[in-house]
Chain A
Amino acid sequence: NAGVMQNPRHLVRRRGQEARLRCSPMKGHSHVYWYRQLPEEGLKFMVYLQKENIIDESGMPKERFSAEFPKEGPSILRIQQVVRGDSAAYFCASSPNQVSSYEQYFGPGTRLTVT
């Protein structure tokens, strides 16, 4: 019974490059959430997706960031033209459905370092 999987675990990008972070939810979960965590901070909500739909992207920067959760395959968080301030841990969580959206199970995170 695999949990939430994220890859890569660590990602180093130079300024201006693109970063792609992947998240495979738990089996049977159709809701995915992305969070960002800065050092010494809590998790900040970025985006909430269901299959092929963005439900809430109110926490995502308007530029350079995008997310998708296609019908097949993992959810992708994409950061274009990365800057040093994008360096953070990015966590994905999944839940079975919206009713139990508080039952979010987190992946191990992707630690993005922008040099």
Chain B
Amino acid sequence: GQQLNQSPQSMFIQEGEDVSMNCTSSSIFNTWLWYKQDPGEGPVLLIALYKAGELTSNGRLTAQFGITRKDSFLNISASIPSDVGIYFCAGQGKNRDDKIIFGKGTRLHILP
């Protein structure tokens, strides 16, 4: 079945630093999604990508849909304390019935 490899598993950064995380798939996806999950809460959709090569921003967040359709990355610029949380990538295959597959998440920690 389809699998997503998300890296890194965790990151420890200083406030103000930029962050980059990525996701690779064993097969092609038609849609890439990035979610953030705060402790004790459900995931919140940050960015959705629908076309290969697409680059989309949401405030300090930027995500790209890889040209091969097998990867995506998320950048966060000038990190702030509220960026702490778990970031999940997710992908959906080419059929509308395909379920969304989630990566295992990147845990972002910001050092004081």
Contacts and interface: CB of A to CB of B under 8 A. Distances in A.
B66 interface: no
B102 A109 contact: no
A7 interface: no
A56 B97 contact: yes
B96 A99 contact: yes
A103 B41 CA distance: 18
Nearest to A106: B42
B105 A104 contact: no
Given A91-B42, A91-B43, A107-B42, A102 B102 contact: no
B25 to A, nearest CB: 13
Contacts of B104: 40-42
Interface residues of A, number: 28
Contacts, number: 58
A44 to B, nearest CB: 7
Contact of B92 (A44, A102, A109): A102
A105 B45 contact: yes
Contact of B42 (A59, A101, A108): A108
B44 to A, nearest CB: 7
Interface in B83-112: 88, 92, 96-97, 99-105
Contacts of A108: 40-42
A109 B97 CA distance: 24
B105 A42 contact: yes
Interface of A: 4, 6, 33, 35, 40-45, 48, 55-56, 58-59, 91, 93, 98-99, 101-109
8 contacts: A40-B104, A58-B99, A102-B48, A102-B100, A103-B48, A106-B43, A106-B44, A109-B40
